Amino acid sequence: MIIIILVLLIVIASLIAYKKIIKEDNVVDIQTSVNDNLGFDYKVIRETNNLVKNENYLISPLSMGFALKLLDEGADSKTKEEIDKLLNNYKLPNIMNVKDRIGIANLLFIKNQYKNDISNEYINALKEKYSSDLIFDEFTTPDKANEWISDKTYGMIKNAIDSLSEDFVLGVANTIAIDVEWKNKFECQNTNSKEFTKVDNTKMQVAMMHGENDVYYIENENAKGIIKDYAIYDTKTNSKVFNENENTVALEYIAILPNKDVSEYLKTFDDKELNNLLKTQKRSDSNTDIYYSLPKYTYDYTYDDFQKMLNNLGMNEAFNRDNANFKKMLNSNSLLQLFVSKSIHKTHIELSENGTKAAAVTAFLIEKNSAFIGEKNTIRIEFNKPFIYIIKEKNSDNIWFFGTVYEPIKWEDNKDSCKN
pLDDT tens track for 386-411: 999 999 999 888 999 999 999 999 99
Report the chain's mean pLDDT, rounded to a whole number: 90
Task: Report the alpha-carbon angle 400-405-406, nearest 5.
Answer: 155
Is pLDDT above 70 for 192? yes
Is pLDDT above 60 for 32? no
Question: What CA–CA distance (Å, rounded) separates 34 from 313?
Answer: 14
pLDDT attached to residue 38: 52
Is pLDDT above 80 for 133? yes
pLDDT attached to residue 415: 80
Close Cβ partners of 210 (under 8 Å, ≥ 6 residues apart): 186, 187, 190, 191, 192, 291, 292, 293, 294
Please choose, from the candidates 380, 179, 418, the residue with its C-alpha nearest in 3D space to the C-alpha of residue 294: 380
CB contact at 8 A, 332 and 357:
no
| pLDDT tens, position by position, 72-130 | 999 999 999 999 999 998 999 999 999 999 999 999 999 999 999 999 999 999 999 99
pLDDT attached to residue 374: 60
CB contact at 8 A, 351 and 296:
yes
Is pLDDT above 70 for 31? no
What value does the mean pLDDT take over residues 175-192?
A: 97
What value does the mean pLDDT take over residues 362-384?
A: 84
Is pLDDT above 60 for 12? no
The amino acid at residue 303 is Y
Point out the least confidently predicted range of 18-27, 187-196, 387-396. 18-27
Question: How many other CB atoms sit within 10 Å of the CB of residue 219?
Answer: 17
Is pLDDT above 50 for 2? no
The amino acid at residue 234 is D
What value does the mean pLDDT take over residues 38-57?
A: 93
216 - beta bridge partners?
227, 283
pLDDT attached to residue 375: 64
Assessment of whether the complete model's pTM goes beyond 0.85: yes
